[in-house]
A and B are shown apart, each in its own frame.
Chain A
Amino acid sequence: MSQHNQHLTPDEARQLIDRYFMGETTEQEEARLRTFLCSTDGRAYDDVSATMSFLAVGHRLHRRQPHRVIRSQSRLLRPLAAAATLAAVLVLGVAGWFYHRHHDLCLATVAGHELSREQATELMLTQMHDMFNPANESMP
């Protein structure tokens, strides 16, 4: 406690600043350094004061609880999202396969003009008949 309140000399302060940026200071020493920087003697170290403030804010933000919660939630959701994507792809694939296999389609076009279902069916039968009976071709 007494050490905390002890006033730092400029030399001691310089040493502490060096150690601070080397990451070697304890919390108590950092507290003493902050006290010094806020004092009249510390005005000569405005650049150090600004850097320490900036780092302190960053450190505080990094340790904020909500961030951790969000990150852990996203970690939990990641496999769920992957599973949902896979399921959606499978469902689309199966639906597409069923549609392709069972979809009723009956269309014929002559010179780009669409014919009726009956005409399409008739054309199909005629073409198949001609294919298997080339001698008696039915179409003109």
Chain B
Amino acid sequence: MRRLMLPLLLLCCIIARAQSDCHIEPLFVKYAVQDNATEVLMSGKALKAYRLRLFHSLEIRMPGDAEVADIERSVRSDARTAICHEQNEQDGRLLYGLYELKSKKKYAYIFYRYTPARVTLIYLQGPATVEELRAFFKK
């Protein structure tokens, strides 16, 4: 059993590393259970048409200042090491952001949008480019 410990520990580390490569990850766990929150998690066939592998979103209706500040902080942390495609700010508050996370073999995106009525955070993974995503979803 002792011989198995090291390989198993390594495997756990690899999996944990793969799942926690961005700062926004804990937000889904933290806020998804709230009464004013909506979480969507999709992967596989349903996303194939959009050239995506993973869609994970969190939307909080009528968010409190603390929630917005917390989410914004995490988004800004990830944005520091990402390619920023679009970003709007007003009075120091982030209103909109579209970031492409730097990754070796995959595209990963973070979308952030804030209005007083709701704050939306989306994490995407897949081979689709920003232009392709625009073409799919912009009308």
Residues of chain A touching chain B, judged by Cβ–Cβ distance below 8 Å, are: 81-82, 85-86, 89, 92-93, 96, 100-112, 117, 120-121, 123-125, 127-134, 137, 139
Contact = CB atoms under 8 A, between A and B. Distances in A.
Given A124-B57, A131-B111, A106 B8 contact: no
Given A89-B7, A112-B33, A134-B113, A105 B43 contact: yes
A56 B136 CA distance: 87
Chain A residues touching B, majority SS: helix
Query: Which of B4, B7, B36 has its CB near the most chain A CB atoms (within 10 A)?
Result: B7
Given A104-B45, A129-B137, A132-B138, A85 B39 contact: no
A125 B47 CA distance: 10
Nearest to A119: B40
B40 A104 contact: no
Contacts of A86: 7
**Chain B: interface residue count, which band?**
35 or more
B37 interface: yes
Contacts of A110: 37-38
A87 to B, nearest CB: 10
5 contacts: A104-B46, A112-B35, A130-B113, A131-B98, A132-B138
B62 interface: no
Nearest to B47: A124
A94 B109 CA distance: 25
B8 A103 contact: no
Interface in B22-65: 32-46, 53, 55, 57, 59
A130 B40 CA distance: 15
Contact of A132 (B35, B118, B134): B134
A96 B122 contact: no
B11 A105 contact: no
B122 A121 contact: no
B42 A106 contact: yes
